[in-house]
């Protein structure tokens, strides 16, 4: 019998936690956060921790939380539906411009990103559109009816930047990259989620769950584990809203991908096919699935569905390669894998400990920002992606290895 590739941590008063973390660091805080969730009475069978696991707000990033009869909004988080999209083109590396700075600047002009920038005497949010282009309004039209149903009951969400955030990147660890695979074929890869509207939905329902716990006199080891029991009005409203936000996030990535493809066509004269292979996957979400003979809810916070044959994306960092993978359908991991390398330093710690010179050296060969404003996203802030991939060799198989040559950060 083959040796299992994961370790089991027993939790007093809770279900076991199966850890795919061999060869990668796991801080004590993440173990404690996992244990607290494992003690909730509605956790189904066991929990699974991916090799990129680290402390998160509300719940551990890199965790798979199966539940029966309840959902924990903070275990999904506020960037609902955050995920990845990648598309292979028919271009080769030699078709790219000799100077990639021009290409990066063109992508930055085509996709609103970041927080704000001063232009002339005024100030505009570069993370939003002014007048959304036709493709943005067309995409929003496919979502607006369901959104109106949500805002009929929760009018507070009407004031979010829902339309003007469609097709925009955001900030933090969100990015757009141009990559080369093992055959020097050009890929476009991007990472983003449901933007301001998803944040508003997540934040509101997390607080609503906390209020419910206080109303019902339910004491929790951590108020971020506040939950909605299945069958309640708030459970139904949350699941409806969160699934809508997941659809917004997936469509948001598609709109951005279209913008980047059009940009490449403007910069590169050679005709090319743009979507030879396409992957679009969430890694912050909840879904109804069937595992171990039962229908359950699976919350993945910083984890990707890796059912047998299902394609996924596992990015590294600004200076480390990424992977297109195919799921192996490992039942013990609830058919999941990591969503990336996972942080080994907090954003504050990275800014204190990593110098600009180190960042520049670690991103050599990548056309990207090389300033102090991105030190919280520097490669040293993340776990070694090769070790992360080795720890989950029984969860996914590697299909393509991608090395970025251009990286746009929010």
User: What CATH number is given to the structural domain containing 188?
Assistant: 3.90.1860.10
Please report the sign of the dihedral spanned by the C-alpha atoms of residue 106, residue 109, residue 110, residue 114: positive
Is the distance from CB of 394 to CB of 7 less than 8 angstroms? no
152-186 burial code (b ≥16 CB/10 A, e <16): eebeebeebbbbbbbbbbbeebbbbbbbbbeeebb
Whether 230 is covered by a domain: the verdict is: yes
Please report the sign of the dihedral spanned by the C-alpha atoms of residue 13, residue 18, residue 19, residue 22: positive
Whether 125 is covered by a domain: the verdict is: yes
Give the active site residue among 174, 339, 359, 400: 339
CB atoms within 10 A of CB 349: 13
Whether 374 is covered by a domain: the verdict is: no
Is the distance from CB of 60 to CB of 170 less than 8 angstroms? no
CB atoms within 10 A of CB 335: 22
Burial of 203 (0-12, 13-18, 19+ CB in 10 A): middle
Going by C-alpha positions, the residue among 389, 216, 252, 403 that lies closest to residue 314 is: 389
Q: E strands along 193-321, which residues?
A: 228-229, 277-282, 284-291, 294-301, 303-305, 311-314
Residue recorded with tokens 């050599």: 364
Residue recorded with tokens 């080769």: 92
Whether 352 is covered by a domain: the verdict is: no
DSSP state of 43: B
Going by C-alpha positions, the residue among 289, 282, 304 that lies closest to residue 388 is: 304
Ranges of the chain with pLDDT below 50: 1, 116-124
pLDDT value for 116: 44
Is the distance from CB of 164 to CB of 129 less than 8 angstroms? yes
Going by C-alpha positions, the residue among 342, 289, 305 that lies closest to residue 66 is: 289
Q: Which residues pair with 300 in a beta bridge?
A: 64, 285
Whether 359 is covered by a domain: the verdict is: no
The helix/strand/coil state of 211 is helix
* 278/280 Cα distance (integer angstroms): 7
Going by C-alpha positions, the residue among 186, 172, 209 that lies closest to residue 340 is: 172
- Tally the domains of the chain: 1
Residue recorded with tokens 């060799």: 393
Residue recorded with tokens 């607080």: 207
Alpha helical stretches, state H, 270-362? 347-353, 356-362
- Any idea what the Cα angle at residue 345 is, between residues 47 and 117, rounded to 5°? 110
Q: Which tokens hold the place of 286?
A: 């909840």
Q: Which residues pair with 19 in a beta bridge?
A: 7, 49
pLDDT value for 2: 60
pTM summary value: 0.94
Residue 54 a catalytic site member: no
pLDDT value for 127: 78
Whether 240 is covered by a domain: the verdict is: yes
Pairing of strands 70-71, 303-305: unpaired
Domain span at 217: 7-344+382-409
Q: Which tokens hold the place of 352?
A: 């204190």
């Amino acid at each position: 019998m083959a040796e299992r590739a994961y370790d089991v941590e027993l939790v007093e008063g809770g279900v076991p936690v199966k850890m795919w973390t061999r060869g990668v660091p796991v801080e004590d805080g993440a173990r404690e956060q996992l244990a607290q969730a494992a003690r909730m009475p509605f956790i189904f069978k066991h929990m699974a921790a991916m090799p990129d696991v680290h402390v998160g707000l509300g719940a551990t990033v890199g965790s798979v939380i199966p539940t029966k009869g309840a959902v924990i909004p903070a275990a999904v988080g506020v960037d609902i539906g955050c995920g990845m999209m990648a598309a292979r083109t028919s271009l080769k590396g030699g078709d790219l411009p000799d100077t990639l700075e021009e290409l990066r600047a063109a992508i930055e002009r085509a996709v609103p990103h970041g927080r704000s920038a001063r232009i002339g005497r005024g100030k505009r949010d570069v993370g939003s559109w002014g007048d959304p282009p036709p493709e943005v309004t067309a995409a929003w039209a496919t979502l607006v009816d369901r959104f109106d149903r949500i805002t009929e009951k929760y009018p507070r969400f009407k004031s979010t930047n829902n339309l003007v955030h469609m097709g925009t990147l955001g900030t933090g660890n969100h990015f757009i990259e141009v990559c080369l695979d093992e055959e020097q074929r050009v890929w476009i890869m991007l990472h983003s989620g449901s933007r301001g509207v998803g944040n508003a939905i997540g934040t509101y329902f997390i607080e609503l769950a906390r209020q419910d716990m206080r109303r019902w006199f339910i004491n929790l080891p951590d108020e971020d584990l506040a939950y909605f029991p299945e069958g309640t009005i708030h459970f139904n409203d949350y699941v409806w809203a969160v699934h809508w936000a997941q659809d917004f996030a997936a469509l948001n990535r598609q709109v951005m991908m279209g913008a980047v493809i059009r940009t490449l066509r403007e910069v590169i004269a050679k005709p090319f096919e743009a979507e030879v292979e396409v992957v679009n996957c969430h890694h912050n979400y909840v879904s109804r699935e069937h595992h171990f003979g039962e229908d359950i809810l699976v919350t993945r916070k910083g984890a990707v569905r890796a059912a047998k044959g299902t394609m996924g994306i596992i990015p590294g960092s600004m200076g480390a390669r990424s992977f297109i993978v195919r799921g192996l359908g490992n039942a013990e991991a609830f058919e999941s894998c990591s969503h990336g390398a996972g942080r080994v330093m907090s954003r504050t710690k990275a800014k204190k400990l990593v110098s600009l010179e180190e960042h520049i050296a670690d991103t050599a060969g990548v056309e990207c920002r090389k300033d102090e404003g991105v030190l919280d996203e520097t490669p040293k802030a993340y776990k070694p992606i090769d070790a992360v991939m080795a720890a989950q060799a029984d969860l996914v198989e590697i299909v393509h290895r991608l090395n970025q040559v251009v990286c746009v950060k929010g």
